[in-house]
Amino acid sequence: MKNIAILGSTGSIGCSTLNLVEAYPERFRVLTLAAGRNLESALEQARRWQPRVLSLAEEADAAQAQAALAGAGLNEIEVVHGTEGSVRVATHPDVEFVVSAIVGVAGLQATYEAVRAGKTVGLANKECLVAAGELLTAAARASGKPLLPIDSEHNAIHQCLRGGRAQEVEQIWLTASGGPFLNTPKSAFPGITAEQALNHPTWRMGRRITIDSATLMNKGFEVIEACRLFALPPGRVRVIVHPQSTIHSMVEFVDGSILAQFSVTDMRLPILYALTYPERIGSELRFPVLELRRLDFCPPDLEKFPCLALAYEAAEAGGSLTIALNAADEVAVSEFLEGTIGFDQIPKVISETLRETQKRQPESIPEVLFMDAEARSVATSWAQRLSRSKPPLPRVASAIQHGE
């Protein structure tokens, strides 16, 4: 029986994790839960799973939750809130495994403390590795417990790496769907609308990650995550476009052998892998191999997708530069979705922010958060400045639809 803490329990990864706990009640027990601002879902989960600790983002929600749970006779549930609350959830002495799935920098402190407390951590939060990767991996090395990736690409790499020793890895290959604009000419990029960019070909995801997939910045973040998770320099973390996203990623060994992993596109699979590692247990998540028909591949076009090149640049520098990359991208994507800047101006906001960011190495999570805030402010002012040069939309939009 494994005692689990879920950071981000009401999100998609949190719900998938609870679905697995439900499917394997003899293996996993929900010990603590950290939800965000969705009070109703959090209360429902608390009633169903009766965790020892429930944390909410806001103090007012926590007070309301406490009253509601007391009314349902569940007074033993300790209700907490904020960063301190999620740290309590992550470091509870009886917790063995922490699912880190709070979106954004809000999950950093709790994840870091979980690693420092010697918990095995399953990582679904991108910022943990992009913004605080050096701190987190150093803490994991010190604790001796693994950081297990809960996303299809890094989970695939983790699986393929079992085919050899660390020093036998030549390079790793992250596959990228290429996003909705893989075959759109670069000249049509200024006219891309939010609606078009939100239409991802293979995965249904949140708004920011969907735009990040369209710019290939998401793949850039994954390059940085891979560098940190697997202790490889950026030059040995490569990207190949694979529109079907069937193969999740690959590892190339020094002898020339390449191992690739694939499976159904269901997040429960990497979560289950992390929860049971180093074991594998049976699941109903079967890929119908005999229905395999065609897989396509092509090299990524860095001219068309400069965000990927920017991510490699930031990966080489590390520290404050990867923090700025993440912060500036979040700002740029949000400004694009609000119509302030054009799709083609997203990389411009990021590159200008990187240019203005001094190279430093954060020594603590508060320092990470400080650098993050600094970069956000730089990015916001760049977005404002660029908004004046944004082209009129309707005219170019029609060119895209026939632009392949």
Q: Is 280 in the site for a copy of itself (CB under 8 A)?
A: yes
Q: Assess contact for 358 and 233: CB atoms under 8 A.
A: no
Q: Is 72 in the site for a copy of itself (CB under 8 A)?
A: no
Integer Cα distance of 81 and 95 in angstroms: 18
* Of the candidate residues 49, 189, 230, 273, the single one contacting a copy of itself (CB under 8 A): 273
* Of the candidate residues 71, 290, 394, 402, the single one contacting a copy of itself (CB under 8 A): 290
340 SS3 class: coil
Q: Is 73 in the site for a copy of itself (CB under 8 A)?
A: no
252 SS3 class: strand
* Of the candidate residues 82, 104, 164, 201, the single one contacting a copy of itself (CB under 8 A): 164
Closer residue to a copy of itself (CB): 248 or 348: 248
Closer residue to a copy of itself (CB): 174 or 369: 174
Interface residues for a copy of itself in 170-189 (CB under 8 A)? 170, 173
* Of the candidate residues 121, 269, 354, 365, the single one contacting a copy of itself (CB under 8 A): 269
* Of the candidate residues 238, 304, 312, 356, the single one contacting a copy of itself (CB under 8 A): 238
Q: Assess contact for 118 and 145: CB atoms under 8 A.
A: yes
* Of the candidate residues 21, 209, 258, 302, the single one contacting a copy of itself (CB under 8 A): 258
Integer Cα distance of 129 and 125 in angstroms: 8
Closer residue to a copy of itself (CB): 14 or 300: 300
Closer residue to a copy of itself (CB): 238 or 390: 238
CB of residue 228 vs a copy of itself: minimum separation in angstroms? 22
Q: Is 283 in the site for a copy of itself (CB under 8 A)?
A: yes
Integer Cα distance of 2 and 178 in angstroms: 38
* Of the candidate residues 137, 184, 261, 345, the single one contacting a copy of itself (CB under 8 A): 261
Integer Cα distance of 113 and 96 in angstroms: 13
Q: Assess contact for 100 and 8: CB atoms under 8 A.
A: yes
Measure Cα distances from 108 to 114, 153, 206, 281 in Å: 10, 21, 19, 30
| Type and span of the H or E element at 134 | helix 133-143
* Of the candidate residues 263, 340, 345, 380, the single one contacting a copy of itself (CB under 8 A): 263
Length of the chain: 404
Q: Angle at CA 205, nearest 5°, toward 162 and 353?
A: 90
* Of the candidate residues 264, 302, 393, 399, the single one contacting a copy of itself (CB under 8 A): 264
Integer Cα distance of 169 and 368 in angstroms: 31
Phi, psi angle pair for 53, to nearest 5°: -135, 140
92 SS3 class: coil
* Of the candidate residues 73, 256, 303, 388, the single one contacting a copy of itself (CB under 8 A): 256
Q: Is 302 in the site for a copy of itself (CB under 8 A)?
A: no
Q: Which of 68, 28, 24 is closest to 44 using CA atoms?
A: 68
Interface residues for a copy of itself in 3-42 (CB under 8 A)? none
Please state the separation of Cα 11 from the chain's center in Å. Answer: 12
Closer residue to a copy of itself (CB): 283 or 387: 283
Stretch that binds a copy of itself, among 134-142, 187-195, 275-283, 323-331 (CB under 8 A): 275-283
**Contact residues for a copy of itself, defined by CB under 8 A:** 159-160, 162-165, 168, 170, 173, 238, 240, 247, 250, 252-264, 269, 272-273, 276, 279-287, 289-290, 292-299
